[in-house]
Structure formats: structure tokens, C-alpha cells
Amino acid sequence: MIRALLSGNEAVALGAYHAGVRVAAAYPGTPSTEILEELSKNPGVYCEWSPNEKVALEVGIGSCLGGARTLVAMKHVGLNVAADPWMTLPYIGVNAGLVLAVADDPGMHSSQNEQDSRFYARMAGVPILEPSDSAETYEMVKAALELSERHDTPVMLRLETRVSHSRSVVRYRDEREEVDLPYGKDAVKRVMVPGHARLRHPVLLRRLEGLAREAEGSPYNRVEMRSTRVGLVTSGVCYQYAREAFPEASVLKLGFVYPFAERLLHDFASHFHRLYVVEELEPFLEEGLKAMGLDVVGKARVPRDGELDPDLVGESLGELIEMDTGVKGGGWSPPQAGERLSPASELPLRPPVMCPGCPHRGLFYVLARLKLVVSSDIGCYTLSVLPPLSGIDCQVCMGASVGMALGLEKAFAASEANLDKKGKVVGVLGDSTFIHGGIGGLIDMVYNRTPCTIIILDNRTTAMTGFQDHPGTGKTLMGETTHALDLEELCRAVGVESVRVVDPWDLAATEEAVREEVAADRTSVIISRRACTLQVREERPAFRVEEEECTGCKRCLRLGCPALVMRGDKAWVDESLCAGCSLCAQLCGPGALREVRADG
Ligand SMILES: Cc1ncc(C[n+]2csc(CCOP(=O)(O)OP(=O)(O)O)c2C)c(N)n1
């Protein structure tokens, strides 16, 4: 046996490799991204970054039907994008196993919302396995693939940030299973015309009954009997919190979370006056237990928003459990001063900023200067919402910037109240985001004759999630060179008359392009192109303030560059941070910012 300290995401990858997964597809998204990055390091597994999560799942459907064990990975909001194939996949079933690893992000460490993917499994009629640590994650991948094959269903492996990103010990043998199932045509099962789908829906419902029977005896649903006074039901990382907060309590730890193991839950409940449910986000287990007629307390006490931790769990339930059972604090002892488990809350806030030399900065400086209405998207550039750029009006989900810009423009076109905004709307999105979900909106703009400018911030990578390749970069996840999608050609092909490229490090040229296109009465695209400075680190001389020439006007500070600060009444450049982009020098009235030459 080998022992290794792995993150949950590494454990998914290793589990998938050892269980014989031959095809894996994903679109990056924190906290799930590392799963495919890790898996792709192994031989014999085809791994791809798909253009978006819907395509990733569709690739997965094809490959499992084709007889290859398959893993599809995404973050929680990715499942919104993939929801259409997800809802019908359980009708057609699999062939070789298909596991969807979906990572929720309670507390929104790097997401635009908190949503609970378990509801997507229930809505689709798909079983859920949910691990509490890396060892369990590793084992559950194989268990999920086998469950998938036994019941002819996709399986959701539900992860959360703390499981995906925490490290714990995993024991394994370095052996890979070989699975290669024959493909057979079966149109009634796999072609979901209404007549066939009507036959398949009852199959799905019967399958759920079989899955519920299997959940009753699953080794992942574990009763830990301790005190007969306090009984907790929990799953995932919350199991760890519950154990830490209430070490004496009895626990029913659910790993095979859905469909519910009703008999097991009733048996466990029979030992206690009432049950306490510890779960993050929505009252998924709680509602299920209540529907079974069990007396449970959950979200009436435990927060429904944000991340939990052992102290929060203890604080929220301790008093009630004491009242119900007489057990002091329910078994929880409040931390003493200095013992708190969440020291992060005591640190000073440090807002994220765009890096020195970030190519997005120049573009957003121009947009702010021109006082445009900016419909934005998700990526590093969303950081320009913060002062001093304050450059974004709205942002919802990946690709939405284009459709929202269209809607704003149509609303302003017929408005008396917003006459000054008419023709002032731009949509802004990154290259990865444009390919993921922006192209449909652009087709709509051209089709419905919208005089609006879309700006694609083409930094040649998916920077926000850690520099993943995408169809525009000319490289695959497996390191091969491939066709690089030509964004200009693509935009022209959908009917955009004016497509131009600017360098956002050239402020004057960028401003001129934006002014001209916004003024023109047509749909246009500006591609603001320069590689991400963190990824392509060019050796450029830093800039320095010539003190005697600096008037202290602070114009350069309007860029919000972290390499530039005031020292007394003069601007000062931290040369160790400066990327040499020259934007500050382009803004400096008296010309006090100069390149640091090699001779000093
Ligand atoms: C549906 C969905 N999938 C994934 C993500 C995670 N995510 C946020 S922004 C982004 C892409 C950013 O890349 P790009 O648009 O090229 O901008 P950059 O960060 O490079 O500036 C990703 C993958 C998400 N928020 N929503």
C-alpha cells in the first residue's frame, strides 16, 4: 500500500485513473479545476478542456455510451450550463460508468453565487455520493463508477471547496483497472423522441427505488453510536465539523446521500428524542427527513448561507441540544480566547487587484474615461469593478455580458429617461468566456440589428482559474498543438461588419478605437489583445518616478496599479512589481515616469 497526502481533487483524479477512466472532460472553475489538470498527467486517459460544461457533459455521454468509463468535472454553476443534457441523460442511461464530479463553493470563495448541487441530482433522478475527506473521495470515485454501471445511471460525486482543496492521507495500490465495454445500438433507449422518453421515465423512477434499496446497505452510510441522548445526521465536510463540535454525539454519516436510505434513517431516529441535521447550504437532508415524518432541527438554527465550521456548528446547535437533552452545551465547549478556529476573520481585509502590467487595466481605464455603460462578464477583468477604475455596471454569469448589453441597448433606444445612455453601451468579456458562452449573444446582436460594441479581452488564456488553455490558444490540455480558433474570423463569420484589434497597452489607440466603434451605428467587435503578463513574462525595463519632475497630481494612480503608490507628495514605483507596461508614463502630464535603463 502507498500512502500519500492528497487534496480531494487529486484524490478524484487518482481514483478515476485507478478505476480505469479512459475519457474525462471539464471546463475549469474553482474549486474543481485541478481534477482534470491532475488526471491529464496519467497515461492512457483522454482528457480535454471543453469549451463549456454543456459540451463537457455531452462528450462524457458519448464516451460512456461508447464503452469507456468517464469522468466529467465542473464547478457548481457549471451544472447550470450543463443542465439540459444532465436532465435527459438519466433517461438514456450509460453503458460504461459516468461520474459527474461537481464542486460546490459554500462561502463563495471564488464564485458568483452559492448553490446546492444536490437539488440537481434529485431533480434529474440521479444518485449522490458525497465524501468527507480525500481517502473517501478516492474510494468513492470507483464506487460511483460501479454504481453507475450496476444501475445504468450517471452518478453525482458532490464535492465542496473544503473537500476539494484540503489534503489528507490516502492509501492506495498503484494499479489500474481495464474497462472496455462493447457498444450496441439501442434506439428506443437512447433516442429521446417523446414516444421513447415516455417509456424511459418510468424506468428512471423504478431505478431510483433500486438505488434507495442499495443506499440502505451502503458502507458509505455509517452509524456511529456514542451517546444515546444526542443524534446528528450529516454528510460531506460537515461530518468533520459535527464530530469536532459534538465529539460525544451519535452520528449517522451519509455518504450515499440520495436517494435516501429511509429505513436506516428511521432506525437511527428511533434512538433519539429528535435529530439534528448538520449540512451546508440548503436544507436538503432536513427536508428529506421531515418528509419521512421525522422530528429534526436543522436550518432553524444552523446558518443556510455561507460556510460552516466547527465553532459555528457548536454555537448554532449547542444551546438547543442542551435544552432538549440536558447535555451541557450539547457536548460543545465554546473556544477560549485565542482558540478560535477561524483566524482569517481577524486578518485585515486585502481586496484583490489586477496584477501590475495586466492587459485589462488599459482597456478599463479607457472605458471609465469615456463614461460608458459597461455590461461585463466573469474573469480577471471583473476586478475593475473596484475603485479607482470602478469600470463595471453589471455582471451575472459567464457569457451574459453580450445579451445584457443587447437588452440595455434596446431599453435605452426607446427611453426618454435614459436618452443620454443610448448608444453608450459596451459588452466586455474575456477570450475564454466569449468561447464558453458569448458567441450566442453576438449572433443575436447581429441578427437583431443592435448598434453595440463588444470588447473581447483576449489575453490568450483562461487567467482567472490558473491559465488553462481553450480553443483559441492553439494548445490542448494534453499538451498537443492544435488549430487556434481565429476570433476575428469567427466574429466576421457571424456577420459583425467591423472587427478590429487593439493593444490595450497603447492607451491612445485603444481610446480611439472605442470612441469610433461606439459612435458607429452597427454591431462591432474590438479585440483587446495582449497576453496575460503573469503567463508571458517579458523582460521589460521597469519605470521610475523622477522625483523633481513629479507634481504629485496623482493622475497615474487612476490606473489602480499595485506597483504605484504615493510617498509623501510624490508618486513612487515599486520596481520589483513593475511589469514595464508604460501605462503610467502615458498618463503622466509632466513626463516624470521614465524607463529604468540598464545603466541605472
Ligand atoms: C459556468 C461557469 N464555469 C466556470 C466558471 C469559472 N470561471 C470564472 S471566469 C472564467 C474564465 C475566465 O477566463 P477569461 O474569460 O479568458 O478571462 P481572464 O480571467 O483570462 O481575464 C472561469 C472559467 C464560472 N464562473 N462559471
Take atom 13 of ligand 1 and give the residue whose Cα is closest. 462
Give the range among 33-47, 323-337, 476-490, 501-515 with minimum mean pLDDT.
323-337
Mean pLDDT for 101-110 is: 96
Amino acid at 327: V
Whether the CB of 232 sits within 6 Å of ligand 1: no
Whether the CB of 79 sits within 6 Å of ligand 1: no
Shared-domain flag, residues 196 and 271 = no
- pLDDT tens track for 500-513: 999 999 999 999 99
- Confidence band for 539, pLDDT divided at 50, 70 and 90: confident
Cα(461) to centroid of ligand 1, in Å? 10
Whether the CB of 464 sits within 6 Å of ligand 1: yes
pLDDT of residue 155: 99
* CATH at residue 212: 3.40.50.970
pLDDT surpasses 70 at 106: yes
Q: Of ligand 1's atoms, which has the minimum distance to the CA of residue 80?
A: 1
- Confidence band for 343, pLDDT divided at 50, 70 and 90: low
Domain annotation covers residue 351? no
Cα(433) to centroid of ligand 1, in Å? 6
Shared-domain flag, residues 293 and 254 = yes
Domain annotation covers residue 310? yes
End position of a domain, from candidates 165, 192, 216: 216
Q: Cβ(225)–Cβ(120) under 8 Å?
A: no
pLDDT of residue 453: 98
- pLDDT tens track for 357-396: 999 999 999 999 999 999 999 999 999 999 999 999 999 9
Cα(143) to centroid of ligand 1, in Å? 31
Shared-domain flag, residues 178 and 208 = yes
Domain annotation covers residue 352? no
Q: Cβ(99)–Cβ(72) under 8 Å?
A: yes
Domain annotation covers residue 353? no
Is omega for the bond preceding 31 within 30 degrees of 0, making it cis? yes
* CATH at residue 565: 3.30.70.20
Q: Of ligand 1's atoms, which has the minimum distance to the CA of residue 464?
A: 19
Q: Cβ(592)–Cβ(544) under 8 Å?
A: no
Q: Which of the 8 DSSP states describes residue 554?
A: -
Domain annotation covers residue 538? no
pLDDT of residue 342: 59
Whether the CB of 399 sits within 6 Å of ligand 1: no
Shared-domain flag, residues 154 and 39 = yes
CA distance 190 to 182: 15
- Name the phi and psi angles at 124, rounded to 5: -90, -10
Domain annotation covers residue 244? yes
Where in the sequence is the domain holding 590, given as residue range(s)? 543-595
- Confidence band for 144, pLDDT divided at 50, 70 and 90: very high
Mean pLDDT for 325-348 is: 77
Cα(52) to centroid of ligand 1, in Å? 10
Whether the CB of 510 sits within 6 Å of ligand 1: no
Mean pLDDT for 131-156 is: 98
Domain annotation covers residue 534? no
pLDDT surpasses 90 at 346: no
Buried b (16+ CB within 10 A) or exposed e, 393-409: bebebbbbbbbbbbbbb
Shared-domain flag, residues 550 and 525 = no
Q: Of ligand 1's atoms, which has the minimum distance to the CA of residue 463?
A: 20
pLDDT surpasses 60 at 108: yes
Mean pLDDT for 484-511 is: 98
Give the range among 185-199, 319-333, 496-510 with minimum mean pLDDT.
319-333
Take atom 12 of ligand 1 and give the residue whose Cα is closest. 379
CA distance 277 to 478: 43
End position of a domain, from candidates 499, 529, 559: 529
Shared-domain flag, residues 211 and 230 = no
Shared-domain flag, residues 150 and 209 = yes
CA distance 78 to 115: 11
Whether the CB of 356 sits within 6 Å of ligand 1: no
- Confidence band for 597, pLDDT divided at 50, 70 and 90: confident
Q: Cβ(126)–Cβ(155) under 8 Å?
A: yes
Give the range among 51-65, 254-268, 524-538 with minimum mean pLDDT.
524-538
Take atom 15 of ligand 1 and give the residue whose Cα is closest. 430
Shared-domain flag, residues 313 and 267 = yes
pLDDT of residue 436: 98
Whether the CB of 75 sits within 6 Å of ligand 1: yes
Cα(378) to centroid of ligand 1, in Å? 5
Whether the CB of 505 sits within 6 Å of ligand 1: no
The C-alpha cell that represents 37 in the structure block: 489538470
- pLDDT tens track for 151-167: 999 999 999 999 999 99
Shared-domain flag, residues 237 and 253 = yes
Whether the CB of 31 sits within 6 Å of ligand 1: no
pLDDT of residue 448: 98
Probe target for ligand 1 pocket from 104, 353, 377, 378, with the most ligand atoms within 8 Å of CB: 378
pLDDT of residue 355: 95
Phi-psi region at 474: left, alpha or beta (left = phi > 0; alpha = psi -120 to 50): left
Percent of the chain at pLDDT > 90 equals 93
219 SS3 class? coil
Q: Of ligand 1's atoms, which has the minimum distance to the CA of residue 77?
A: 1
Which residues lie across from 374 on neighbouring strands? 426
Find the farthest-apart pair of alpha carbons in the chain and give their distance in angstroms, rounded: 82
CA distance 382 to 370: 18
Mean pLDDT for 402-416 is: 96
Q: Of ligand 1's atoms, which has the minimum distance to the CA of residue 457?
A: 21
- pLDDT tens track for 253-300: 999 999 999 999 999 999 999 999 999 999 999 999 999 999 999 999
Mean pLDDT for 80-95 is: 98
Mean pLDDT for 42-55 is: 98
Closest CA to 234 of 271, 268, 273, 270: 268
pLDDT of residue 26: 98
CA distance 517 to 252: 62
The C-alpha cell that represents 249 in the structure block: 454525539
Whether the CB of 33 sits within 6 Å of ligand 1: no
> For the chain, how many structural domains are there in total?
4
Cα(110) to centroid of ligand 1, in Å? 10
Shared-domain flag, residues 260 and 212 = no
Shared-domain flag, residues 152 and 207 = yes
Cα(262) to centroid of ligand 1, in Å? 40
Mean pLDDT for 405-421 is: 95
CA distance 61 to 67: 10
Domain annotation covers residue 19? yes
Percent of the chain at pLDDT > 70 equals 98
Shared-domain flag, residues 283 and 379 = no
End position of a domain, from candidates 505, 529, 553: 529
Q: Cβ(72)–Cβ(97) under 8 Å?
A: no
523 SS3 class? coil
pLDDT of residue 538: 84
pLDDT surpasses 90 at 27: yes
Whether the CB of 378 sits within 6 Å of ligand 1: yes
Probe target for ligand 1 pocket from 464, 467, 473, 532, with the most ligand atoms within 8 Å of CB: 464
The radius of gyration of the chain from alpha carbons, rounded to an integer in Å, stands at: 27
Pairing of strands 498-502, 524-529: parallel
- pLDDT tens track for 196-251: 999 999 999 999 999 999 999 999 999 999 989 999 999 999 999 999 999 999 99
Cα(509) to centroid of ligand 1, in Å? 27
